Structure 1
Amino acid sequence: MIPPKPPSSQAKGGILHYIRAFRRDLLSALPARLYRAWMAEFRSGPIHSFLCNDPDLVARVLREHPDDFPKSNRLREGLAPLLGRSVFVTNGAEWQRQRRIIDPAFEGGRLREIFPQIWDASCAAARRLPPTGEIDLEPVTSHAAADVIFRTLFSIPIEDATAAQVFSAFRAHQDAQPIVNAAALIPLPAWFPRFHSRRTRTTAAHIRGLIAQLVAERAARIAAGTAPDDLATKIMTTPDPLTGQRFTPPEMVDQVAIFFLAGHETSASSLAWALWLLAANPDWQARVAAEARAELDPENPAFSLVSCLKLSRAVFREALRLYPPVPMMVREAACPETFRERAVPKGAQIVISPWHLHRHERLWDNPDGFDPARWETANGRDCQRRAYIPFSAGARVCPGAGFAMVEGPLMLSLILRDHRLETTTPPVPVARLTVRGRDGIRVRISPRDPDGSCRR
């Protein structure tokens, strides 16, 4: 079964066409030729953008010369109500300082330490599923991913009162604010409105207020010597090795906002699509379930079992290819450049699109097909190195990438271990905060003849 993707735009027009299209849906606003093009230039009035699918250009922008292509200020403006000046949107010395403080919290040894929290949240997610009936996967996976974040970041489950409020507010904010809107992709003049609705500003302020409460409570426990050794404590007590300074409370609010967005919204999106893909491909679903039965020991949830979930990992990686949570990344040319013998002026928007790169017809074998076995082929291994960037790449690669590749396959395996999924209406992908289903991602669920249950 070929996984669905949105129809591509066939319309032509000027700036108003693009603004209307981007506000409606990013993925269907762009033309079908981008699935074959190495580069595309968009220029209409003040618009001057370059979308790059050439792996050499992608490497140049993300890996080889990242300082020449900083994060676009338009992206920061688009996300400022929620993220402030978080590590996701800053550049230069400010970004370097933030990463020096944040990166130690996500080192390899920390994954082993927080694995019990990931395991507990994953087991809780599997137990919460109804035994039978039709469900929308998006609320289920959002709840599960939020539970992981709260347990690992603040040592509280999703049932905690403040955690539940943050989760609810994020659900409202997702509907109010797309991650890449017209202001992010189009270099509009300074006077042009940035499309922040009153609802967007209100939900963002509510979320940030709740996060500020959590940060203040944790700061008090750190001062009293009673704080748990979790990610929040690690980040709040880590000094910049160059200056000795730690994050201020407002800076920590910015960082927690992006941790929640990157670790909750993106994981929820990826897991929902992975579950739907398995519902649509029962042969792979049966293989993942059999692997989970064979490898997962509820009485001994050791970190080492993560390396045994090879099929689940391949499925999750394929879901990230077909439905990358962040469909496009926007950079800005800091100086004049030349791309494929074409002049790129200073200030031009450079768009790197995992959505198109991951389905590029000249790079991938069977680009629109679901094939977790591709990662063992020569083409799959080559494309994984050159044309696969679900977590970005280079210096700005997501610090939580390793975290996601533990959480996703584990949760996938624990759910499929005891539950069987079947498709209903095929979902239509749209770009909101992450790639989601336009009307949800729905499946039918039923019990898989269990020979045990997830417990600790």
Structure 2
Amino acid sequence: MAAITEIPGPKGLPLLGSALDLQRDALGTFLRVRREHGDVVRLSAGPPGLRTVLHCVFSAEGAQQVLATQAANFRKDNRFYEELRLSAGNGLLTSQDEDYQRQRRLIQPLFTKRQVDGYAAAVTREADGTVERWRDAPGGVVDVVREMDRLALRTVSRILFGADVEAAVDVVHDNFPVVSAYVTRRGYSPVSPPRSWPLPANRRAAAAARAVYAVCDRIIAERRAAPEGSAEGDDLLSLLSRAGSEQDGRLDAAELRDQVLVFLLAGHETTATSMAFALHLLARHPREQERARAEADRLPSGRAPSAADLDALPYLTRVLKEAMRLYPAAPVIGRRSVAAAEVDGRPIPAGADVVVLPWVTHRHPGLWDDPESFDPDRFTPEREAARHRYAWFPFGGGPRACIGRHFSMLESVLAVAALLRSYELEAVDTEVPVTAGITLLATGPARVRLRARG
């Protein structure tokens, strides 16, 4: 059989290619071109001279090759990651090569299962606060997207900053969306004006970034000045500031801030997405909701759920995994090829922009039966073992897999269990429109009606 030398793809418009389709509905466009053209597709967008060409990889095998087996050839060198570095620093999410390896070695001991299990108290404290706040919800209705964003931000801020949680939450809540929207707009545009130009968008984003930097820098300075063994020494920031080795030294103040910004972004927006859509899916599926609640109700009464309870919540864990299949917090993962390569039998040229798409792979009919339906039992151990390793990869994969995977699952399962023990949920909005930013973004409300339990 002759070698395949061309990647298929839509022709698009003569001048703009697929730009308008991607602008109107990028996630829907990716789904459509997989159906029409296969598992590796070439998409062109933008006018001649400013055209972006995306090599889209939709298969599980292709995702594994890009993220794992050929990871050294597919780097975070694209435009999107450069914009993210300029706004959020050179932390674990954006760093590469020796910078990344050093950071990972220093930070990994703080994300062992034993260490992460110790964060459960902060999770349940904030979940209990949400339970109480919901008692005063106007009309008994809440938007779970907004509510889980608040819960996740408060949780990660409490774990990072300890007693300074209140000082950080409002600043991050008010300013992070401005920075995120700015990075997304510039990262996906074929050309953008220099950041130094005094344009309104540049000034707004710079002011928002300065506000977040300032609160992080102040708390970091206080932590670094505090004596070891002080009351301030138990939060994650204090542990980060003391982390070090003879080989790697310690993180300086700027490096600490970069890591804090990554944890605030990746540790709050991604987990918030998983919790929000898990709750909304349960609100739309009463039978599955009751099954998850019955499991949560079997936990010992009179105390908050703890890390030790995770093994007693297998169905609720499956609910979260199914929510992350349908609504992966990172729906699009970008890379740039160093050298020419072959991915899933198709040639990828050197210097190509390559995207793997959990949003599409998680809905691939060759991997999932009735892929648009909500079925937590897809994630029984037997069914998981029978699937390709990269049929489901909401936390990425390979050497750059998310360091916070266990923390995200711990927070999501324990928080949702606490909420289900206190409330029955009924969906008000049956569909929630979404789009791709730095993370998956809901562009409309996800309201549910609450019924407090006795």
Using the size of structure 1 for normalisation, the TM-score is 0.87
Tell me the residue number matched to 1:48: 53
1:152 to 141, 159, 165: 159
Whole-angstrom distance in 1 between the partners of 2:164 and 2:324? 26
Whole-angstrom distance in 1 between the partners of 2:107 and 2:14? 42
Report the alpha carbon displacement of residue 218 of structure 1 after superposing the two structures with TM.
1.5
2:432 to 394, 415, 427: 427
Do the aligned residues in 1 keep the contact of 2:124 with 2:418 (CA within 8 Å)? no
In structure 1, list runs of 5 or more residues that go unmatched.
1-9, 451-456
Q: 1:139 is matched by which residue type in structure 2? A: R
What SS is found at the alignment partner of 1:390?
A: coil
What SS is found at the alignment partner of 1:325?
A: coil
Do the aligned residues in 1 keep the contact of 2:186 with 2:192 (CA within 8 Å)? no
Tell me the residue number matched to 1:38: 39
| Correspondences of 1:257-272 after superposition (within 5 Å) | 257-272=261-276
Cα RMSD of the aligned pairs, angstroms, is: 2.6
Paired positions, count: 432
Report the alpha carbon displacement of residue 405 of structure 1 after superposing the two structures with TM.
0.7
- Structure 1 pair 32/24, CA: closer, same or farther in 2 (3 Å)? closer
Whole-angstrom distance in 2 between the partners of 1:171 and 1:192? 19
- Offset from partner CA, 1:315-365 (integer Å, 9 cap, x none): 011100000011111111111112344332111011011111111122111
Report the alpha carbon displacement of residue 439 of structure 1 after superposing the two structures with TM.
1.6
Do the aligned residues in 1 keep the contact of 2:326 with 2:362 (CA within 8 Å)? yes
- Offset from partner CA, 1:115-162 (integer Å, 9 cap, x none): 22222122222222135522211221111101110121111375x233
1:167 to 165, 173, 181: 173
- Structure 1 pair 289/301, CA: closer, same or farther in 2 (3 Å)? closer
Task: Say yes or no: does 1:141 pair with 2:148.
Answer: yes
Tell me the residue number matched to 1:319: 323
Do the aligned residues in 1 keep the contact of 2:80 with 2:187 (CA within 8 Å)? yes
Task: Say yes or no: does 1:274 pair with 2:278.
Answer: yes
Task: Say yes or no: does 1:109 pair with 2:114.
Answer: yes
**Which consecutive aligned stretches of 4+ in structure 1 deviate over 6 angstroms post-superposition?**
none
What SS is found at the alignment partner of 1:295?
A: coil
Report the alpha carbon displacement of residue 34 of structure 1 after superposing the two structures with TM.
2.1
- Offset from partner CA, 1:28-50 (integer Å, 9 cap, x none): 45451325731111246543321
What SS is found at the alignment partner of 2:347?
A: strand
Task: Say yes or no: does 1:387 pair with 2:394.
Answer: no
Report the alpha carbon displacement of residue 266 of structure 1 after superposing the two structures with TM.
0.7
Report the alpha carbon displacement of residue 71 of structure 1 after superposing the two structures with TM.
1.1
Tell me the residue number matched to 2:99: 94
Whole-angstrom distance in 2 between the partners of 1:405 and 1:109? 14
Task: Say yes or no: does 1:342 pair with 2:346.
Answer: yes
Q: 1:263 is matched by which residue type in structure 2? A: G
Of 228-237 and 402-411, the range deviating more from structure 2: 228-237
- Structure 1 pair 15/363, CA: closer, same or farther in 2 (3 Å)? farther
- Structure 1 pair 31/360, CA: closer, same or farther in 2 (3 Å)? closer
Whole-angstrom distance in 2 between the partners of 1:204 and 1:23? 26
Tell me the residue number matched to 1:367: 371
- Offset from partner CA, 1:391-444 (integer Å, 9 cap, x none): 101111111000011100111111111111111222112223422321221111
What SS is found at the alignment partner of 2:156?
A: helix
Whole-angstrom distance in 2 between the partners of 1:223 and 1:16? 59
What SS is found at the alignment partner of 2:87?
A: helix
Q: 1:141 is matched by which residue type in structure 2? A: M
Report the alpha carbon displacement of residue 261 of structure 1 after superposing the two structures with TM.
0.6
Task: Say yes or no: does 1:354 pair with 2:361.
Answer: no
Tell me the residue number matched to 1:238: 243
Give percent identity, aligned residues only: 28
Tell me the residue number matched to 2:13: 13
Of 129-138 and 406-415, the range deviating more from structure 2: 129-138
What SS is found at the alignment partner of 1:13?
A: coil
